[in-house]
Amino acid sequence: MFKEFKEFAFKGNVLDLAIGVIIGAAFGKIVTALVDVVIMPIISIILSLILKDVNIATWQFSIGATPIMIGVLIKTIIEFLIIAFVLFLFVKGINSTRRKQEVEAPAAPPPSEEVLLLREIRDSLQK
């Protein structure tokens, strides 16, 4: 059982997936910091010019005694859009590279004279 697990766990695809998850988690933290420290303050500054003293992070309304935090939702949507856009660019780049490799792949060379002659003999023998 250990041998089977070792074969499964150390296959290339599983390791690639694990590395991707770890890098994705780190990228998520970077995006969260970017949104918290740069983007949300800029949006708050722009909105405060219009609405006076606005902080999006604290936007909320209540239903009964339960607060619904709209600011947190907006922040999370912005983070999602940034991550989705970066992944889109990444996949687009990979697809572009694959298409170039497919185009650059050389076509099969034409058959030699010997092969053509052998095919002709084969065809005449079948008749």
Domain borders along the chain are: 2-126
pLDDT under 50: residue ranges of the chain: none
2-126: CATH homologous superfamily?
Large-conductance mechanosensitive channel, MscL; domain 1 (1.10.1200.120)
Residues 36-49: pLDDT tens digits? 889 888 888 888 88
Q: In this prediction, what percent of the chain has a pLDDT beyond 90?
A: 20
State the pLDDT at residue 105: 65
88, two tokens: 């889109």
Judge contact between 70 and 59, C-beta under 8 A. yes
Query: CA-to-CA distance for 23 and 94, rounded, in angstroms?
Result: 17
20, two tokens: 């991707």
